[in-house]
Structure 1
Amino acid sequence: MAVDFPRSVVHGGTGKRQRENTGKNPLDFSASLNPLPPRFTWHCDPACLSSYPDNEYVQLKECIAHTFHREPEEICVGNGSIELIRVFCSVMLSGKKTYFAESPTFGEYALSARLAGASAARTSEAANVSFVCNPNNPTGELCRHSDLMARIKAISSHEGMLFADEAFIELADPSESLVDVRAVPLFVLRSLTKSFAVPGIRFGYGFGDPDLIAKIETVRPPWSVNAYAEAFALQAFSHLDELGKSRDYIRKERDWLSLRIEELRLRCPPSSANYLLVDCACNVGPLCTQLETHNILVRDCTSFGLASCIRVAIRTHEENEQLVEALSACVR
């Protein structure tokens, strides 16, 4: 009997695989990480490895609560933000529920919702859960705080819920965040991976109503945040204020890079994030292959439904210059 089981979502960040397969060390513009992350010393006591982590993560949640002026019972943690997306959907969308996610956007929302048994709704008003990625991946478009507050009000009128994924907001504009909003129909997801450029340390965290958080923490696999990730996170939260320098650098480089790319007769819609969506007006598969010969990896956006587009991260100025040089050679 045929079963309509969804396929895995395509992701960027394939640099490690490329190094293993080719022996080369490519510039990975497919992974949207902070090019100028805060640098600090952190340490994981080897003695911690001989004990299970505290599955309630009391110290970690108190640290997050103090940082964001929330209560520990309003906070959940997980092995990366994707684990929390999966767990949230398992809690809120199991059974014959519906979800809504605007297109194009991060594919894990739809996948996790479908794995929980939910089906897609045509509108936000018809959905049990509406997903918003802010700023959006892959477009970089940023929703304003006031617009999202209006959306929460509209969603609450039909007993729905808004899931706000703010994985990139610390590198865009944290003043537009919903992290300070306490509302039953709202869950806010965050990640340290992008802001601190540590994709190898899987750590995500979220904010919501205590009843929802209690359910998420029950469904989350025990000890999912390992000792190394916890040790790093405890130090990182004291350096969030240093991300202002990162935002300034990203803004300057984004403006420079988008101008250079448009000079190649490619189109870059306005972005507020640490990445650009580039419309090449043709199928980008061959272009991505050509760029690999120049030791450059970019995100083919075909999986987003954008077969003529690539997404490129904002990296250091020297690296961005190498991207422009490679693009120039490939699109002529």
Structure 2
Amino acid sequence: MNKAFPQYRECIMDIRPYVPGKPIELVQKEFGLTDVIKLASNENPIGPSPKAIEAMKDNAHKMFLYPDGYCTDLRNMVAEYLGVEQNQLIFGNGSDEVIKLLGEAFIHPGDEVIVADPSFSEYDFVCLLMGGILKKVPLTNHTHDLEKMAGQITEKTKMIFLCNPNNPTGTIVAKDEVNKFLAKVPDTVVVVFDEAYYEYVEDKAYPQSMEYLNQGRENIVILRTFSKIHGLAGLRIGYGAAAPKMIQLLERTREPFNVNLMAQKAALASLADKGHVQNSRDVNNKGREFLYKAFEEMGLEYIPTHANFLMVDLQKNSKEVFIELQKKGVIIRTGDIFGMDTFIRVTIGTEEENKRFIKALKEVLASL
């Protein structure tokens, strides 16, 4: 006899589950290796601040207590760091959660969400989860085409995501372009600036998005994270900055105690450790130039990056390269998941990791 099954929401069938970078432990087991490096998930290769580690040790005995649901100490520090009021911030279990809160607060079934293609898949997820209509605008020269994105705005448009720098391409849109774009966006449309890689950008043309909040724009949300340059990806903590009215709405969708105790303490210590952030940036800059030079010597075209990763065109099937690199203990990201079948995305690692990656890549390309 057939058993009845609960009716599910049809819209979830349009969602493709997120596929994370392959874990080191899995590659070790699969290929019988002991020494494996992971350059797949845009993590900080030098790890977190030693002060963040100490902060977690100092607070380990408190883990039986619920965390501060309002992230009071961290809220005060981030507000001062950004030059905003405390009521202009919301904290999440990674900035991913804040993206989900935005969807839950604003997207009705049938609302349109405009995103670049390719870009961070979490935008697709939250739109489809809420029954929204996803409108993808192809990149131009691997960069957001803001003019075309503005041209997609209709009366049904509810939200637009701008990933700047863009993941997976590492490109940015400049301040002048953003200003022209925002002039075309109605106040009824939420514009989300996802700036997960903000701290890596050194280009003077990069927009300082906090200025838009200071101008009193109530439809702007800016996302930042402690997962990247701060090296706290495993703790899951990020935040959003917006007008107080926007934050009040998002707080209604936030679950209590969503940011754990260790994450809050580590983030506090890391934000105070400016030396570690600068060191992380220096390591990234040095590694980026090394990889640029290596790719040029190998005759490979790459996309210049403003983040801690870059995409390179191997003119070969990225899945095949992915498998062969794993056999040599190197994990990267295939480009096919972004619709870029011959590209791979590689996180910029330490000097030793970068050299090992290039050596392995040369051997793999010579064998295919």
Q: State how far apart, in whole Å, the 2-side matches of 1:238 and 1:209 are.
A: 25
Contact 1:38 1:243 in 2 (8 A): no
What is the deviation of 1:174? 8.2
Q: Which of 168, 172, 176 is the equivalent residue of 1:146?
A: 176
Look up the match of 1:137: 167
Check the 8 A contact 2:28/2:35 in 1, yes or no: yes
Paired letter, 1:40: P
Distance 1:140 1:52, change over 3 A: same
Q: Percent identity?
A: 26
Extract unaligned runs of 5+ from structure 2. 1-6, 137-148
Residue of structure 1 equivalent to 2:131 = 117
1:173 to 195, 202, 214: 202
Secondary structure at 2:114 match in 1 = strand
**TM-score (norm: length of structure 2):** 0.84
For the 8 Å contact 2:48–2:232, the answer to whether it is kept is: no
Matched residue type, 2:339: G
Higher mean alpha-carbon deviation, 242-251 vs 23-32, is at 242-251
Whether 1:281 aligns to 2:310 is: no
Give the letter for the 1:108 counterpart: E
Q: How far off its partner does 1:34 sit?
A: 2.6
Kindly indicate whether the alpha-carbon contact (under 8 Å) linking 1:140 and 1:276 is maintained by their aligned counterparts in 2.
Answer: yes
- Please report how far the alpha carbon of residue 90 of structure 1 lies from its aligned counterpart in structure 2 after TM superposition: 1.2
- TM-score (normalised: structure 1): 0.92
Q: Contact 1:171 / 1:243 at 8 angstroms: preserved in 2? A: no
Query: Equivalent residue for 1:101?
Result: 115
2:48 & 2:128 partners in 1: Cα distance?
37
Q: Which segment is superposed worse, 264-273 or 63-72?
A: 264-273
Distance (Å, rounded) in 2 between the aligned partners of 1:256 and 1:303: 26
Partner Cα separation in structure 2 for residue 82 and residue 326 of structure 1: 33
Q: In structure 2, which of residues 30, 52, 55 is the aligned counterpart of residue 43 of structure 1?
A: 55
**Structure 1: how far apart are the matches of 2:127 and 2:267?**
28
Shift of 1:207: 0.3
Change (3 A) 1:134 1:16: farther
Instruction: Tell me the CA shift for residue 23 of structure 1.
Output: 5.9
The alignment partner of 2:118 has SS state of: coil
Aligned pairs for 1:46-125 within 5 A: 46-121=60-135, 123-124=149-150, 125=153
Equivalent in 160, 177, 195 of residue 189 of structure 2: 160
Tell me the distance in 2 between the aligned counterparts of 1:20 and 1:73: 47
Query: What SS does the aligned partner of 1:282 have?
Result: coil
1:208 aligned to 242, 259, 270, which one?
242
Which protein is bigger by CA-based radius of gyration?
2
- Runs of 4+ aligned residues of structure 1 deviating over 4 Å after TM superposition are 19-23
Q: CA deviation at 1:89?
A: 1.2
Contact 1:79 1:224 in 2 (8 A): yes
**Letter aligned with residue 171 of structure 1:** Y
| Partner residue in 1 for 2:4 | none
- Say if 2:33 and 2:329, in contact at 8 Å, map to a contact too: no
Gaps of 5+ in 1: none
Question: Quick one: structure 1 residues 241 and 165, their matched pair in 2 at CA, closer, same or farther if it must change by over 3 Å?
Answer: farther
TM superposition shift of 1:248: 3.1
Contact 1:69 1:180 in 2 (8 A): no
Structure 2: which amino acid aligns with 1:179? M
Measure, in 1, the Cα distance between the counterparts of 2:176 and 2:25: 40
Kept in 1, the 8 Å contact 2:67–2:261? The answer is yes
Count of aligned residue pairs for this structure pair? 331
Q: Which amino acid is the alignment partner of residue 252 of structure 1?
A: K
TM superposition shift of 1:37: 5.6
Cα pair distance change 1:130/1:298, threshold 3 Å: same
